[in-house]
Structure 1
Amino acid sequence: SFRRAGSPDAALRRPVVCGERAPSMATCSVIGGLLRTWSDEPVGRILLGAWAATFVGISSRALFLRRRAKAAQAQAQAQGAAPKPAADQCATSKPAKAITPFKRVLRLAFPNYSTSTMVWGGVLTVGIGVRLLVSIKLNTEIGVLGGLLAKREWPALYKRMLAYALWAVPASLLAALQSYAAGQVTRSMRDRLTARVHSGYSQSPSLPLAVSGAGEVVQRGLMDSKEFCVAAVHLYEALTKPLIEVTLLSATLWSMMGGAQLMQCYGFFFFAGCWTRFVGPSIASMSADVQAAEGKLLAHHSQVNEYAEEIALSRGGAAEGVALDSALARASTCGARLSLQRLLSESLDSYVVRYLGILAA
C-alpha cells in the first residue's frame, strides 16, 4: 500500500534541502563528503594525517610549555617576598584611576555632542559608509563589464558602461566629501584646542611664570596640537572604515548564505584565531629576551671603553674578548630564535586562518 503524501512518515522521508531546514545536518554532510573524497586520494590521506599530527603535537607542546611556565612562576613567587597580611590588604585601597592626557585632550576637543566637531564627525562616518556602498556597486559594475567584454556582447556592454559612468559621479563626490569632512573635523578640533590655549593666556594671573614653566609653549600650543588633530582623525578613519566594511559585507553574506552558515563561518575564524594564539609562544617575551641580550652586549662594550686602562694593565684583554663574544653569541641566538618563531607563527597563521578559512567559507 502507498502512503499519503501528507502523512507524518512521508514528511520524515522528505529530503532536507541544504540551508532550508537543518543547516547543521547539511554542514555535517558536506564535511563528511569532503573527508570521504579526500580519503580516497593518497595525497588527501597524507594531508589529513599531517593536519591531525600537527594539531595534536602543537597543542600538546603548548599545554606543556604553559604548565611549565606556571610552575616556574609559582616557584618564583614562593621564593620572593612573603605576602601581605589580610588586614593590610583590606586597609590598602586602590587609588582612583587618573585620566590619561589623551582622554583629557579629547574631552577638550569634544566637550559635548552638539558641537560642530561632532556634527562633522557624523558626516564623516556617514560618508565613509555610503562611499563603501557605492564602491561595492562600482566593483560589481566593473565585473559585469569585464564579463560582457569577454563575451563580445557590444550592445549590452554599451548600456552597462552608461550605468558605470552614472555610478562614478556619486563615487567621486563621496570621496571628495570624505576628505572635506575629515579636514573640517581636524580644523574644528584644532580651533577648540587653540582657543583653550588662548583662554589660558588671558586668564593666567602670572603670564611670564606660566610661560616659563610650561616648556616649549609655542610648539605645544600650535604645531603639536595640529599634528595631534590630524593623527586623531586619520586614526578614526582607519578604525571606522574596516568596521563599516565588515558590517556591510556581513549583511550581504547573511542575505546570500543565511545566518546559520555565516555564524558557522565566523565560528571557524574565531576558533582558528584562538588556537593559533594559544599554541604560539609569546613574541613579546622573546622580544624582551632579545632586548636583554642586546643590553648585556652594550654593557660589555661600555665596560671595555670605560675601564680600558685597567684592562690593559691587568692584561685582561683576552678575558674581555671572550665575554664580548659570549654576549654577542647570546644576542645572535636570541635574534635567530625570534626570527624563526616569527616565520613559523606567520606560516601557521596564514595557513590556518586565511587559507583554511577560505575552505571553510
Structure 2
Amino acid sequence: MQSNAQNRNFEERVKILKQRIENISFEERSHLKELIKDINYRLELEAISKDSAQVLKQKAAEESAQNIKIRIAEIEQQLRDLIQNKVDEAIFKEETSHRFRFAGLDIDYSENYHHKHRYYNDNRRTQSQTILAVGTSNLITDGNLNSLENSDFDFWKSHFFEIGSNSKTRMFKNSGLFYINYGLSLTYNVLSPKRNQFFVANNTATLLQTNLENLDKSKFKTVQLVVPLFFETDFSRSKLNEDRIYYRPNTGFKMGFGGFFGLNIKTKQILKYQMDDIKVKDIKKGDFNVNNFLYGLNGFVGYRDTSLFFRYHLNNLFKDNLIEQKNIEFGLRFEL
C-alpha cells in the first residue's frame, strides 16, 4: 500500500512539472506568433523591407527559444532530481525485495519496478543472462590448423549461430574476480562446400563428391544441444556504497576458458541447382554418420557484454572417416 502511494505521488509530481513546461512553451509560442503577425503587418504597409522582416523574424524566434530554455531550466532540474531520487531509491532499497533476471533485465515483482543495470544491488553470487553467439565455422583436417588455408568450405558461407541461457557464479564470497560460467545452448552449424561439392554417406565413410550439375547452393547443417563450462576471470571494478562493496560483473574486461559437451540432434543437407532449365531443391535428412556425442574446448575474451569467442571440437565430425575432420568456430559472443 505504501509503495503504491509513493508511486502515485511520484507520477503526480512528474505530471505537474511536465504540465508547467508545456504551459511555458505554449506561452512563448503564442507570443512569437503575435510578433510574427506584427512583422508581417509592417511588411504589408511597406514600413520595412522583405530582408528586414526576415531578420526580425529570425531574431524573434531565437529570443523565444532562449526564453523557453531559461524559464524551463529550473523545472527540468527539478524533474531530473525527482527521477534520480526514484532510481536511487530503487537501486539501494532493502535486500528483502524479490527479483528475478531475464535476458539482462532485473525485474522486481514485489513493487512492480524493473530496470536494467550493470551490477547487482544485493551481491548475489549467481547471475543469469541470455547468450547469443555468431561467427564462422570450418573443419580442421588431421589436426593441422594450416588446413584452413586450403579448406573445402567457403569461409563466408560457413557459419554458426548459438542461443542459450547462461549463469555465472562467483567462486569466492568476498571476491568478484573468479567465476564458474555454465549454461545450455542450441547451436546451428552450417558448412558450405566449394567447387560444386556435397557430402555423400556410405557404410564406411562420409566424403565430399563433385556434383555433375553446377550447384547454386550446397549446405550441410547440424543442430546441436551444448552444455558449455568456463572458468572465468572478470576484471570489472567493484563499487563501495554506504560502507558496503557491490560487485559489478560484466562492466570491464573478462576472459574465460573451459570445455563443453553436447548432443547432435539433427542433420540435413540442402542442394540447389538447375537441370534442363528447371530449378531443383534437394533436401536430405539423416545421420550422415555424424557423431551424435560432441565435446571439446571453448573460450572467450571480451569487454562488458561482448566477447571474441572460439570453440574447437575434439570429436571427429564423422564416425568412420579415415581422416580426422573436426569443427572449429570463431565469432562474437553477446551476454544480454
TM-score when normalising by structure 2 = 0.26
Per residue, is there more helix in 1 or in 2? 1
- Structure with more contact order per residue of length (Cα contacts < 8 Å, sep ≥ 6): 1
TM-score when normalising by structure 1 = 0.25
